[in-house]
Amino acid sequence: MSAAPDSTPAYSYLGPVGTFTWEAMRQVPDAEGAVWRSVANVGEALDDVMTGRSVAAMIAIENSVEGGVSATQDALATIPGLRIIGEFLVPVNFVLVARPGTRIEDVRVVSAHPVAYAQCRRFLESAIPSHGHIPAASNVAAAAGLLESTLAEAAVAPPGITDHHELEVLAEGIGDNPNAVTRFVLVSRTLGLPERTGADKTSVIVELPDNAPGRLLEMLEQFATRGVNMSLIESRPIGDALGRYRFVIDLDGHVRDERVADALLGLKRFSPNVMFLGSYPRADQQQIEVVSQYGDDVFTDARAWLRGILDGGAPA
């Protein structure tokens, strides 16, 4: 872990070089030329941001094979002052690697992070029926370990691993789900908002006022009445008592979109506790289609109309 000199900004990520999180980091233009701090877990990454050691941290937030998703959501819900400033997708795929010259029929023991091992189980059971498994601390550590000891003949690793280690690929695309993707977010302490691009996402965490039936419905009406679509909703236990949940929500659009801003106002009034996590460009760059009824001008027009009434201007 290299120290960040004063003049160079640092970014924290779940390392080492070659992990899926590292792949996500490579998609961040501003991180080029910066110091990359490899950390061991989400807590450490966010800690770097909170203490100022790093300007931002890349963390998995959905569907990760490296774990940490719930941890991420809970961290964002409880650590004030964090903002998501970007979103990145990394295809989750695995290769089986070995020391140069090894053939697949030579493999007796496979080294793999337990979660990655589970994701490739179907392939491994069929290709190497009687193999043994040695757990590793990370996907990259499994591969790197091949060069340090002969306990295992092969390792499960991310595809880019051969750029960093003298290993050979025995099999590609060995994950059970070929379309698996992990979603990462870049988290910072900045209060500036990323520019509106037209293909944006807004993340919030919201608590319900109480446990009465229909409360979640009431909350969602705040979005529906403004034509705001949700792309993600998850309930997470608040942790102070069983049965108390908060909701992690992703909305289509940017807080600078009138309909999103108005929905957030409604949410803030409704909920005893709303955390705004950020508005940022969507990783898939898909433009949000807004029904004309909810365009910015409709909001502006309505305000002008109301102002006319309040000021005693021309009648409607």
Is 81 one of the binding residues for a copy of itself (CB under 8 A)? yes
Q: Please, which contacts does 215-221 make with residues 24 or more away whose CB atoms are closer than 8 Å?
A: 216/247, 218/270, 219/247, 219/267, 219/270, 219/271
Query: Which of 67, 91, 160, 198 is in the footprint of a copy of itself by CB under 8 A?
Result: 67
Those residues whose C-beta lies under 8 Å from the C-beta of residue 26, and which sit 6 or more positions away, are: none
Q: How many whole angstroms separate alpha carbon 38 and alpha carbon 174?
A: 26
Do the strands 200-207 and 95-98 form a parallel or antiparallel pair, or are they unpaired? unpaired
The token pair that represents 199 in the structure block: 């293909």
Task: Write down how long the chain is.
Answer: 316
H or E segment and range at residue 280? strand 273-281
Q: How many whole angstroms separate alpha carbon 290 and alpha carbon 41?
A: 38
State in Å, rounded, how far the first CA of the chain is from the last one. Answer: 65
- For a copy of itself, the closer of residues 96 and 120 by Cβ is 120
Of 53-61, 100-108, 167-175, 294-302, the window that binds a copy of itself (rule: CB under 8 A) is 294-302
Q: How many whole angstroms separate alpha carbon 142 and alpha carbon 64?
A: 18
Is 255 one of the binding residues for a copy of itself (CB under 8 A)? yes
Of 2-10, 30-38, 147-155, 221-229, the window that binds a copy of itself (rule: CB under 8 A) is 221-229
Helix and strand numbers, DSSP H then E, in the chain: 9, 14
Query: Which of 51, 130, 149, 293 is in the footprint of a copy of itself by CB under 8 A?
Result: 293
Is 121 one of the binding residues for a copy of itself (CB under 8 A)? yes
- For a copy of itself, the closer of residues 34 and 220 by Cβ is 220
- For a copy of itself, the closer of residues 168 and 295 by Cβ is 295
Query: Which of 37, 86, 264, 280 is in the footprint of a copy of itself by CB under 8 A?
Result: 264
DSSP lists the bridge partners of residue 112 as: 135
Is 24 one of the binding residues for a copy of itself (CB under 8 A)? no
Is 305 one of the binding residues for a copy of itself (CB under 8 A)? yes
Is 33 one of the binding residues for a copy of itself (CB under 8 A)? no
Minimum distance of a copy of itself from residue 227's CB (angstroms) = 6
Is 109 one of the binding residues for a copy of itself (CB under 8 A)? no
Query: Which of 37, 53, 113, 201 is in the footprint of a copy of itself by CB under 8 A?
Result: 113
145: exposed, middle or buried (Cβ count in 10 Å: 0-12, 13-18, 19+): middle
- For a copy of itself, the closer of residues 104 and 291 by Cβ is 291
Those residues whose C-beta lies under 8 Å from the C-beta of residue 239, and which sit 6 or more positions away, are: 74
Is 151 one of the binding residues for a copy of itself (CB under 8 A)? no
H or E segment and range at residue 35? strand 35-39
Q: How many whole angstroms separate alpha carbon 69 and alpha carbon 306?
A: 44
Minimum distance of a copy of itself from residue 262's CB (angstroms) = 8
What value does the CA radius of gyration of the chain take, rounded to a whole number of Å?
Answer: 23
Is 1 one of the binding residues for a copy of itself (CB under 8 A)? no
- For a copy of itself, the closer of residues 168 and 198 by Cβ is 198
* Binders of a copy of itself in range 163-192 (CB under 8 A): 177, 179, 181, 191-192
- For a copy of itself, the closer of residues 95 and 112 by Cβ is 112
Of 28-36, 49-57, 153-161, 238-246, the window that binds a copy of itself (rule: CB under 8 A) is 238-246
